[in-house]
């Protein structure tokens, strides 16, 4: 067969060949994942660099970057949205974290790749700053340092990496940090950080000494999440064995384990100005503990959710939860009420939630290979009345314009799912590697 020239689009015509003289654009390049593990890869901001070649019989769709460039040429300002646009990836995203002072978000996926993006509410202004392929297996947790200058990552390959945020350069590597795959990470201060693995081992690391200064195994299963008290004295862990662990990191000793709960404990948050600890379980229940009463729960609240896989506190009383059913719920703690739905990933499990440094956006990542942004600015003014009778309504109240209940976004998501199903039937959708 003869070689077929692919089409590319120009701003001045509907279609044009690569060899055309008028309005010629650079030829699109095939996007290749870097297999080199020793350096970060700087990326082009033009989305044309990621477009695949297309045959003459199937012209390329109009890239959003060209639409935006047309607007600029016409002197039109980019459209302003309530939230940044979704960011799409080639693999399922495991973990996300916002920069503590800048409009930057870090992402880690099941292929072990790490990405750093700047985000904006202006259409087409989300920009990939750099990406890194240092991990050999899935990147399971990612976190910025408190000053925002370093990025910590842990992986299924048992390694810990610390990268320079400005350049994506690998600064420190602990290649065999644990004997089992790493699963959780918590930055304590400028020198200390904690890691937990699949076998229940907790380690505290000191960057000044370049090694771990505390190692304990009190859990019988993986450590899923960790938090610190406000005095940075006690570290609390949740585990797949259904218990919450309490560790005194100042004295470097174990304090106690809670009674085991039904299902795995997946996530943990401090609420009510540190007086309450909320733990989410794989059974869809939030367990509440009193501070200094860690042995047994003080209350429990069952959500109509398949599970609670991740949590992030929004206010002292409101927490957002992510579930395997793909719904992000806003939940009030004491009185215990589900306020409504912040957003959704259309039936795909949600891996992690994160709140931006200004507090107005919530980001979520899931198995649909997207990072989505949600407007949560209205939640800060929500007050749940203790005496109001609970209404029996099966449908969750939409708390943002993109949540279920907004007809336009709902049907847009349905079309998107229908398109994905059509691709699967035609064999055009490849499966992602599981974590």
Q: State what percent of residues in the chain have pLDDT above 70.
A: 74
Residues with Cβ < 8 Å from 207, sequence gap 6 or more? Answer: 172, 191, 192, 193
Whole-angstrom distance, CA of residue 73 vs CA of residue 184 = 47
Whole-angstrom distance, CA of residue 329 vs CA of residue 280 = 12
Nearest to 355 by CA among 167, 147, 100: 100
Q: What is the mean pLDDT of residues 186-194?
A: 97
pLDDT tens column, 373-386: 999 999 999 988 77
Q: State what percent of residues in the chain have pLDDT above 90.
A: 69
Q: At 388, is the pLDDT very low, low, confident or very high (cuts 50, 70, 90)?
A: low
Q: Which helix (H) or strand (E) holds 375?
A: strand 370-375
Residues with Cβ < 8 Å from 291, sequence gap 6 or more? Answer: 229, 274, 275, 276, 277
pLDDT tens column, 78-107: 899 999 999 999 999 999 999 999 999 999
Lowest mean pLDDT among 251-265, 333-347, 417-431: 417-431
Which pLDDT does position 52 carry in this prediction? 42
119's torsion region: left (phi>0), alpha (psi -120 to 50) or beta? beta
pLDDT tens column, 231-253: 999 999 999 999 999 999 999 99
Q: At 389, is the pLDDT very low, low, confident or very high (cuts 50, 70, 90)?
A: low
Which pLDDT does position 3 carry in this prediction? 44
pLDDT tens column, 336-373: 999 999 999 988 999 999 999 999 999 999 999 999 99
Whole-angstrom distance, CA of residue 405 vs CA of residue 408 = 9
Lowest mean pLDDT among 61-70, 172-181, 217-226, 313-322: 61-70
Q: Inform me whether the pLDDT recorded for 412 exceeds 90.
A: no
Q: What is the mean pLDDT of residues 202-221?
A: 97
Which pLDDT does position 426 carry in this prediction? 52
């Amino acid at each position: 067969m003869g070689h077929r020239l692919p089409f590319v689009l120009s701003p001045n015509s509907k279609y044009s060949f690569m060899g055309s003289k008028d309005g010629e654009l650079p030829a699109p390049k095939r996007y290749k994942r870097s297999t080199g593990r020793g350096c970060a890869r700087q990326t082009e901001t033009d989305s044309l660099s990621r477009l695949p070649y297309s045959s003459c019989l199937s012209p390329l769709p109009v890239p959003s970057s060209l639409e935006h460039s047309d607007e600029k040429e016409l002197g039109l300002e980019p459209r302003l949205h309530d939230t940044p646009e979704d960011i799409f990836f080639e693999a399922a995203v495991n973990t996300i974290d916002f920069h503590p002072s800048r409009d930057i978000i870090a992402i880690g996926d099941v292929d072990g790749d790490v990405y750093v993006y700047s985000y904006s509410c202006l259409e087409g202004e989300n920009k990939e700053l750099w990406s890194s392929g240092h991990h050999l297996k899935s990147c399971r947790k990612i976190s910025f340092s408190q000053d925002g200058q370093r990025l910590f990552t842990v992986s299924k390959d048992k390694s810990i990496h610390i990268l320079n945020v400005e350049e994506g350069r690998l600064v420190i590597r602990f290649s065999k940090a644990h004997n089992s795959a790493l699963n959780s990470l918590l930055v304590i201060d400028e020198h200390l950080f904690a890691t937990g693995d699949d076998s229940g081992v907790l380690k505290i690391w000191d960057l000044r000494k370049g090694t771990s200064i505390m190692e304990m195994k009190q859990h019988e299963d993986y450590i899923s999440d960790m938090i610190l008290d406000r005095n940075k004295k006690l570290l609390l862990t949740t585990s797949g064995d259904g218990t919450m662990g309490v560790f005194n990191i100042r004295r470097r000793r174990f304090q106690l384990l809670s009674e085991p709960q039904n299902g795995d404990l997946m996530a943990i948050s401090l609420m009510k100005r540190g007086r309450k600890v909320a733990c989410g379980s794989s059974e869809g229940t939030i367990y509440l503990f009193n501070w200094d009463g860690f042995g047994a729960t003080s209350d429990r609240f069952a959500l109509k959710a398949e599970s609670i896989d991740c949590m992030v506190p929004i206010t002292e009383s409101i927490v957002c939860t992510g579930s395997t059913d793909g719904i992000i719920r806003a939940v009030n703690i004491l009185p215990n009420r589900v306020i409504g739905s912040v957003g959704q990933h259309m039936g795909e499990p949600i891996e992690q939630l994160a709140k931006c440094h200004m507090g107005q956006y919530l980001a979520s990542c899931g198995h649909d290979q997207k990072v989505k942004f949600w407007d949560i600015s209205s939640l800060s003014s929500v007050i749940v009345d203790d005496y109001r009778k609970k209404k029996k309504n099966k449908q969750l109240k939409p708390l943002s314009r993109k949540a279920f209940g907004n007809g336009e976004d709902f049907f847009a998501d349905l079309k998107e799912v229908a398109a994905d199903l059509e691709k699967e039937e035609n064999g055009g959708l490849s499966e992602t590697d599981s974590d």
